[in-house]
Homo-oligomer: A and B are copies of this chain.
Amino acid sequence: MEKIYSYNRLYDFTAGVFTRIGCSASDAALAAKVLLSADVRGVDSHGVARLSGYVRLWEAGRINATPNIQIVHETPSTAVVDGDAGLGLVVAPFAMQVAIDKAKIAGTGWVAVRNSNHYGIAGYHAMMALENDMIGMAMTNASALVAPTFSVEKMLGTNPIAVAIPAREQPPFVADFATTTAANGKLEILQRKNADAPLGWVQDKTGHASHNANELKQGGSLLPLGSDREHGSHKGYALGSIVDIFSAVLSGASYGPWAPPFPAYVPMPENMPGQGLGHFFGAMRVDAFRPADEFKEHMDNWISRFRKAKPSEGYEKVLIPGDPEREMEAARMKDGIPVVAAVTEDLQQLAQKFAIAL
């Protein structure tokens, strides 16, 4: 049975759990805020549904609750941050802030992060740039679930890209998407319903297209954006690779099939070529290119022109990236956040383990 929780209730609970695993009060508050930004924006797979997963990683000794996050290398417009195996939910905002601070002086800032963990939704970090009149970017590599074009071997994560661009009267442009045809969370929804997946989302272990939403448990893999070669999967494969290289090869994290797995029961890959997961962040001051007001006025024009694009038969309107998540946020902050039964059970077990009221 699905339950509805208010944002504040989930927030207090989540921050409480992070405190109990040893995070400082401010880190726990930040981690809860970042994690819940996923639930609030409707990306249910990346929010409280993962809280018990983070706890298990901490129990397995893979997450350091009191990390010494630091800049280990820098130039005027770049830095490398070592996350000291901290929660990505805390490491990522630190690194994005470094990018923003660099941009204030150098025009742009670019930060590669090693030795981190999963950081929630990429969009949260990219959006940190907006209040500074900057364009924000965030990427991360992740456990390998995706096969390159012509391959059956899982070599890449769902490796998301987020780009946030400020406007004036219009809400900002916020794109945040996995570089696969479908995110893994969408498959999980089909698995719970025992439903088939559309062709083009997954392939079986021999590389043939499959409708089976459980294919990944049987040696299959997710497909890069584009689905197959004829529909441009080599482009999705290239995008996922770029995210992997920027996030992990530039920073000194573990890349490709060696990216550390999120489930704590999966053993770490052998011969890892770097430390932990990697992220990549960018911040570009809008007025490093043209006056901010002028830019934002043109963004308003861009957005309102695209909103007015003639819709296809049977559709009402054209959406701007970020529209659905913003509508979801407004609704969930007002009406509460629905949590499916499996996740509620998970949270109740955490409540018991840590003696925190849910």
Contacts and interface: CB of A to CB of B under 8 A. Distances in A.
Contact of A302 (B245, B301, B311, B313): B245
B309 A148 contact: yes
Contacts of A135: 246, 250
Contacts of A150: 311-312, 315, 317-319
A312 B151 contact: yes
A282 to B, nearest CB: 9
A23 interface: no
A192 interface: no
Stoichiometry (number of copies)? 2
A251 B290 contact: yes
B298 A273 contact: yes
A contact residues, range: 35 or more
Contacts of A152: 310-313
Contacts of A321: 234, 237-238, 241
B319 A285 contact: no
A338 interface: no
A266 to B, nearest CB: 19
A46 B232 CA distance: 19
A289 B107 contact: no
A9 interface: no
Interface in A169-206: 173, 175, 177-182, 198, 200-201, 203, 206
Interface in A206-229: 206-208, 225-227
A105 B106 CA distance: 11
Interface stretch (A14-22, A71-79, A341-349): A71-79
A286 interface: yes
B108 A290 contact: no
Contacts of A245: 165, 173, 299, 302
B108 A250 contact: no
14 contacts: A80-B289, A135-B246, A151-B318, A173-B245, A175-B241, A177-B234, A198-B230, A207-B312, A207-B315, A225-B225, A245-B302, A249-B295, A249-B299, A251-B289
Given A177-B235, A226-B226, 9 more contacts: A78-B288, A150-B318, A153-B309, A155-B306, A178-B235, A182-B232, A237-B321, A250-B290, A256-B306
Per CB-CB distance, the 4 closest pairs between chain A and chain B, nearest first, are A207-B312, A75-B107, A175-B238, A78-B107
Interface of A: 73, 75-78, 80, 105-108, 110, 112, 135, 147-153, 155, 163, 165, 173, 175, 177-182, 198, 200-201, 203, 206-208, 225-227, 230-232, 234-239, 241-242, 244-246, 249-252, 255-257, 273-274, 284-286, 288-290, 295, 298-299, 301-302, 305-306, 309-315, 317-319, 321
